[in-house]
Structure 1
Amino acid sequence: MPLRDLLLALLVCLAWAGNFLTSAMALREMPPLLFTSGRLALLALLLFAFLRRPAPGQWPRLLAIALCTGVLHFGLSFWALKLAGDLSSPAIVMQSYIPMSVLLAWAVLGERFAWRTGAAIALSFGGVLVLGFDPLVLDNPASLALMLVSAFFLAVGTVLMRGLSGVDRYGMQAWTAVVGVLPLLALSLWLEPGGLAQVPALSATAWFGIAYAAIVASLLGHGIYFSLVQRHAVAKVMPWLLLTPVFAIGLGIAFWGDRPGPKLLVGGAMTLAGILLIALRSQARARAVPVAEEL
């Protein structure tokens, strides 16, 4: 990619890595489902003008994508982040949605992959297993489990997007926000009693976390990412995005007090190496058989 696009990819990584830190700070003051509903509510207001009726027959797929990504993925990932004692392990484990997407595409869509890609998938999941034995992670095993489930629903949404037509990048974010707000708010009222009563007492840090998640992580980060994949193959962009958990680890060490142990570092390296190999194999296939890339 040209230098300008490489710098844009790094900006996306910084925006997404910063979201782990600012969200974790906001989650000190408010429950995760309420935080997620606040993020989507602000995003819905910002993107309301981009709402467009999907093509005929696309409503079930669109609603399924919005529920998988907006409600289940976001809700569970912020829940996992609140339970975690660090930023490093959630940032790494979230990337497991990539090998999960490959496996789901194989199981559901009949897409095939070579043994090298299979080995890379095994390496990435083996890395998650190794980092799971790090003392920092063992203190909060529920966080690891929730982030894996969150990654699974993101993978489901990613695979479903391949058959969606007539919805652009901002329209998809708008529908995700609009569809997700009320279910998340209802779940928060049910599972987080007293959460709404905390809203008047929220500090500027908490409100900044919500604004950052909606504006910087979603609008800026995802907007630039979609513009990059419009100009380049996804497999060409994906390896650079693996710097997101690396930047998140750096932010965790600098501002959150993270002290990653050897198991977390080795497991994280295995996970990211496996995902990098998957991306490189996808890039090699794209060169061998040129196809139009869609996300």
Structure 2
Amino acid sequence: MPLRHFLLALAVVAIWGSNFVVIKYALHTLPPMTLAVLRFSFALVPACFFLRRPAVDWRNLAGYGVLIGVGQFGLLYLAMRSQISPGLASLVVQTQVFFTLLLAVRIRKEKVLGTQWLGLALAAGGVGIIASHTDGTTTALGVTMVLAAAFSWACANLLTQRAGRIDMLAYVVWSSAFAVPPLLVLAWLIDGPQQMAAGVLAADLGTWAAVLWQSVGNTLFGYGVWSWLLARHAAGRIVPMALLVPVFGMGSASLLLGEPLPAWKLIAAALVLAGLAINLFGPRLLQLRLGPARD
């Protein structure tokens, strides 16, 4: 992976990690499905007037929009309202890495190298340490909902690969058109019209800034760049970078929300970083050590 691609992926996961604190802040005022509606509405408008629809099948666009909008963030916002803490949510949703790799092997017949499996095993150890230290702020329902959100994200990853080398920013923008209608229906059914109106009326500048951060920073930049990278690299190279999201998530939660960082969290973060390093650089270092293949 070129260095500039690596730095782009790192910027995306830093935004995604810190975004869990922003989500929690917005949910203090806005009901979860209403927040999702606003997020994808602002991702769609006004950008859709400046970006042409990408040359991809409508079914692909619709599938991606529903999977990311309803499947990932609809479920994530519902869970984060009261069923799971921001730090743990940033961790559990990264099981999408494992879902994506398994789907890629099963459906796309991609090959995952042994060093990549080793890296994922180390990272999984870090995930296991964090998951074993849950507290009363997290419920089984919340974990299940975030796992379902992770699976939706994994399915969306495969759709972006199938879309090929297109304008990925336009892809993310136009797919939002398919996320908004079902989210609006769910907001009406789950949040209720009174809570929807009350949340919007009570929103202050900080809340609207959080919504715009969801739309511009997290959706347009984050998913636009992520989809662009997935269209150019195998899932086994790009997707494991998302394992850094809980590291940024825990760090921002500690800094902004005062969540503690005990030794077990630091050990878990070290395992995740080690797994990521092996996954990204292990194959190249092994090739350098063994030398070029001979006829």
TM-score where L is the length of structure 2:
0.79
Deviations 1:258-277 (A, max 9, x none): 22566655556555655554
2:253 corresponds in structure 1 to: 252
The answer on 1:211 being equivalent to 2:212 is: yes
- Which amino acid in 2 is paired with 1:211? L
1:169 corresponds in structure 2 to: 168
Relative to structure 1, the CA distance from residue 6 to residue 64 in structure 2 (aligned partners, 3 Å threshold; closer, same or farther) is: closer
1:90 corresponds in structure 2 to: 89
Are the equivalent residues in 2 in contact too, given 1:93–1:147 (CA < 8 A)?
Answer: yes
Deviations 1:28-65 (A, max 9, x none): 1122111011000011103213241644xx22233212
- Which amino acid in 2 is paired with 1:251? S
Structure 1 residue 107: Cα displacement: 1.6
Relative to structure 1, the CA distance from residue 74 to residue 189 in structure 2 (aligned partners, 3 Å threshold; closer, same or farther) is: same
1:24 corresponds in structure 2 to: 24
CA RMSD for the aligned pairs? 3.6
Task: Measure the CA separation in 2 of the matches of 1:258 and 1:216.
Answer: 24
TM-score where L is the length of structure 1:
0.79
Deviations 1:199-234 (A, max 9, x none): 112222221110111112222334455666788887
1:180 corresponds in structure 2 to: 179
2:130 corresponds in structure 1 to: 131
| Structure 1: stretches of 5+ with no match in the other structure | 289-295
**1:1-295 equivalence runs, <5 A:** 8-49=8-49, 50-52=51-53, 54-55=55-56, 58-84=57-83, 86-118=85-117, 120-121=119-120, 124-125=123-124, 127-136=126-135, 139-165=138-164, 167-193=166-192, 194-198=194-198, 199-225=200-226, 242-260=243-261, 270=271, 273-274=274-275, 277-280=278-281
Aligned residues: 286
| Structure 2: stretches of 5+ with no match in the other structure | 291-295
Are the equivalent residues in 1 in contact too, given 2:21–2:249 (CA < 8 A)?
Answer: yes
Relative to structure 1, the CA distance from residue 85 to residue 70 in structure 2 (aligned partners, 3 Å threshold; closer, same or farther) is: closer
Task: Measure the CA separation in 1 of the matches of 2:218 and 2:130.
Answer: 26
Q: Secondary structure at the match of 2:45?
A: helix
Relative to structure 1, the CA distance from residue 53 to residue 88 in structure 2 (aligned partners, 3 Å threshold; closer, same or farther) is: closer
Are the equivalent residues in 2 in contact too, given 1:90–1:147 (CA < 8 A)?
Answer: yes
Residue identity (%): 26
Relative to structure 1, the CA distance from residue 4 to residue 119 in structure 2 (aligned partners, 3 Å threshold; closer, same or farther) is: closer
Task: Measure the CA separation in 1 of the matches of 2:148 and 2:201.
Answer: 32
Are the equivalent residues in 2 in contact too, given 1:86–1:136 (CA < 8 A)?
Answer: no
